């Protein structure tokens, strides 16, 4: 409960902060609606030239695109902004202040910042996703639950990966381009991973969880997901979280402050 | 990443002809689009934005008897002397690795228009970056502004999908927008997708946009420096 109250407190703080920069919020709302709409339009244009992509039809690919955009929205609510901020704390010498706080440090690093400009993207893409799914007519409650579960498995996997790489800031003090790097990584999830050859598909399934971002949730919603991927996802979630925590503790023990 | 994703996308369709491009041509398209970005891509937005926010623009530009536009242009040009060889090396390696799948276009016939188109692209992207950055004189937070350029280039400028795939009236609209001349126009000349009269028409539209951006720069610079107040610097 204490940590939940902290999250609410931090959300309220950041909400009040963004009210000071209303123009910025509006411009980000426009940007965060522009990207998904253009992605959907370009998918329509692609299917003006071809009938299918790696055996996926137009509506199936549109479903993947929508889920990828929702994924980007969700991961940008707090995880990525917080970890981007963390990557800047150590070079600036502000990390020491967090060490003194009486809360779990990883919790503080992860929920340090909240962005409210992704909500229009999430809501509109969720609406379009529901319309596409209704068009298929094969969706039932089990598929929906499965799809949501595997979607959030993708969120956790991506967060763990980003957290592990952000932890290397303790050694490589300037990691300011992580944001661009992960934005490009997320682009791999825009279309079904089956468009890639076996090697790249392996990488995007088992190393960089792009498949869990949108392809597997789409398959789950459509009732076509191999249950082994769900089991694999849960397993990798647990293992990656344990590893990320171990790596975090390993890095903290070797941290030496420049200021205190 | 666009190169990898879109190449894989088109290859997975098993079509030998994709729009006005053959399969080898569409793969070559993305390799050359990547090379093009190394040549004409500019990122002066962040530099100018930070200079305005932290006040250093006072010493860098306001008290100097030179044009800030050209000062930034030649400053950024230095980075391109590194970027262009890297782009050429990367593209050469990619072409070698994918040599069974690509078709290198012959650009001898269109060499001169191609070079002019690259110069036009360079100036357009640089000018738009600079114009957007100058809005920092009024808006403290302008981090979202470059997204309009990136989205425009990806979806309307041919970096994501060739604009010849855009149907009907939308294609006509895209022809008159500036993004085409930042990325797609040189590629269309390179791949022989447009003919002499269209090339001339394209240059006219591109130069009009360059004039618009130049006027916008002058206006924003004049009004921005009037409104500007710095701390420190």
Residue B229, pLDDT score: 73
Map tokens 């790097």 to a residue: A181
Mutate to test the interface with B, among A21, A28, A49 (most CBs of B within 10 A): A49
What is chain B's length? Answer: 233
Residues B171-214: tens digit of each pLDDT: 999 999 999 999 999 999 998 888 889 999 999 999 999 999 99
Residue B201, pLDDT score: 95
Per-residue pLDDT band for A258 (boundaries 50, 70, 90) equals: low
Per-residue pLDDT band for A175 (boundaries 50, 70, 90) equals: low
Contact A197 B4 (CB under 8 A): no
Q: Cα-Cα-Cα-Cα dihedral of A145, A149, A155, A161, to 10°?
A: -160
Q: Which two tokens stand for residue B48?
A: 């100018």
Q: In this structure, how many other beta carbons lie within 10 angstroms of the beta carbon of residue B97?
A: 11
Residue of A nearest to B153 (CA): A38
Q: Is A57 on the interface with B (CB under 8 A)?
A: no
Q: Which two tokens stand for residue A98?
A: 């967090």
Residue B1, pLDDT score: 59
Residue B153's Cβ-count burial label (10 Å; 0-12, 13-18, 19+) is buried
Q: Is A33 on the interface with B (CB under 8 A)?
A: no
More confident residue, A155 or A3: A155
Q: Which two tokens stand for residue B133?
A: 């950055």
CA distance A99 to A91: 15
CA distance B77 to B122: 10
Q: Cα-Cα-Cα-Cα dihedral of B2, B7, B8, B10, to 10°?
A: 120
Residue of A nearest to B1 (CA): A184
Task: Determine phi and psi for B21, rounding to 5 degrees.
Answer: -115, 140
State pTM to two decimals. 0.88
Residue A259, pLDDT score: 58
Per-residue pLDDT band for A148 (boundaries 50, 70, 90) equals: very high
SS3 A53: strand
Concatenated DSSP letters for B9-40? Answer: HHHTTT-SEETTEEHHHHHHHHHHHHHHHHHH
Per-residue pLDDT band for B102 (boundaries 50, 70, 90) equals: confident
What is the share, in percent, of chain B residues with pLDDT greater than 90?
33
Nearby residues of A45 by Cβ (< 8 Å), 6 or more positions away: B161, B165, B166, B167
- ipTM score for this prediction: 0.83
State CA B230 to chain mean position distance: 31
CA distance B221 to B137: 9
**Chain A CB contacts of B4 below 8 Å:** 188, 196, 200
**Chain A CB contacts of B144 below 8 Å:** 24, 27-28, 30-31
Mutate to test the interface with B, among A28, A29, A47, A195 (most CBs of B within 10 A): A195
Average pLDDT over residues A93-122: 85
Residue B189, pLDDT score: 93
Region of residue B179 (phi > 0: left; psi between -120 and 50: alpha; otherwise: beta): alpha
Contact A38 B151 (CB under 8 A): yes
Which residues of chain A from 192 to 231 reach within 8 Å of chain B, CB to CB? 194-197, 200
Per-residue pLDDT band for B230 (boundaries 50, 70, 90) equals: low
More confident residue, A123 or A20: A123
Residue A242, pLDDT score: 95
Between B44-54 and B68-97, two packed helices, what is the crossing angle to 10 degrees?
A: 150
SS3 A49: coil
Q: Is B16 on the interface with A (CB under 8 A)?
A: no
Q: Does pLDDT of B232 surpass 60? A: no
More confident residue, A237 or B104: A237
Residues A45-65: tens digit of each pLDDT: 999 988 889 999 999 999 999
Average pLDDT over residues A151-158: 93
Average pLDDT over residues B86-110: 84
CA distance A239 to A250: 16
DSSP state of A101: S
Residue A109, pLDDT score: 86
Per DSSP, chain A holds a count of helices (H) and strands (E) of 13, 0
CA distance A44 to A175: 37
């Amino acid at each position: 409960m204490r940590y939940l109250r902290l999250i609410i407190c931090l959300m309220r703080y950041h909400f009040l902060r963004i009210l000071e920069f209303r123009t910025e919020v509006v411009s980000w709302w426009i940007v965060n609606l522009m990207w998904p709409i253009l992605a959907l339009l370009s998918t329509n244009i692609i299917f003006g030239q071809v009938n299918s992509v790696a055996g996926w039809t137009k509506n199936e690919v549109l479903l993947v695109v929508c889920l990828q955009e929702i994924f980007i929205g969700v991961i940008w609510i707090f995880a990525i902004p917080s970890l981007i901020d963390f990557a800047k704390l150590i070079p600036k010498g502000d990390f020491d202040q967090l060490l003194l706080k009486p809360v779990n440090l990883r919790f503080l690093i992860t929920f340090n910042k909240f962005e409210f400009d992704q909500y229009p993207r999430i809501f509109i893409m969720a609406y379009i996703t529901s319309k596409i799914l209704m068009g298929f007519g094969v969706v039932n409650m089990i598929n929906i639950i499965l799809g949501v579960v595997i979607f959030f498995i993708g969120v956790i996997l991506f967060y763990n990966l980003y957290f592990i790489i952000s932890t290397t800031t303790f050694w490589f003090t300037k990691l300011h381009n992580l944001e661009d790097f992960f934005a490009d990584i997320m682009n791999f999830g825009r279309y079904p991973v089956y468009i890639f050859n076996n090697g790249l598909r392996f990488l995007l399934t088992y190393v960089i969880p792009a498949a869990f971002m949108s392809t597997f949730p789409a398959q789950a919603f459509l009732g076509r997901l191999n249950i082994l991927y769900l089991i694999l996802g849960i397993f990798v979630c647990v293992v990656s979280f344990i590893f990320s925590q171990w790596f975090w503790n390993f890095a903290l023990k070797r941290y030496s402050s420049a200021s205190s | 990443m666009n190169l990898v994703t879109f190449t894989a996308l088109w290859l997975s369709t098993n079509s030998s002809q994709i729009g006005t491009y053959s399969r080898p041509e569409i793969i070559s398209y993305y390799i050359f689009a990547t090379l093009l970005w190394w040549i004409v891509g500019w990122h002066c937005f962040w530099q100018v934005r930070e200079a305005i926010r932290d006040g250093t623009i006072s010493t860098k530009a306001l008290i100097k008897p030179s044009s800030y536009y050209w000062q930034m242009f030649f400053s950024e040009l230095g980075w391109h002397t590194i970027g262009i060889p890297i782009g050429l090396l990367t593209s050469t390696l990619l072409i070698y690795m994918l040599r069974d799948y690509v078709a290198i276009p012959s650009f001898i016939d269109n060499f001169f228009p191609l070079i002019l188109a690259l110069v036009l692209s360079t100036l357009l992207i640089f000018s738009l970056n600079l114009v957007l950055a100058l809005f920092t004189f009024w808006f403290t937070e302008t981090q979202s502004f470059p997204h309009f350029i990136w989205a425009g280039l990806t979806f309307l400028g041919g970096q994501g999908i060739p604009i010849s795939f855009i149907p009907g009236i939308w294609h006509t609209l895209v022809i008159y927008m500036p993004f085409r001349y930042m990325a797609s126009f040189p590629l269309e000349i390179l791949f022989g997708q447009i003919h002499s009269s269209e090339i001339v028409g394209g240059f006219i539209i591109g130069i009009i946009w360059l004039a618009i951006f130049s006027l916008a720069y002058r206006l924003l610079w004049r009004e921005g420096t009037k409104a500007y107040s710095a701390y420190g610097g």
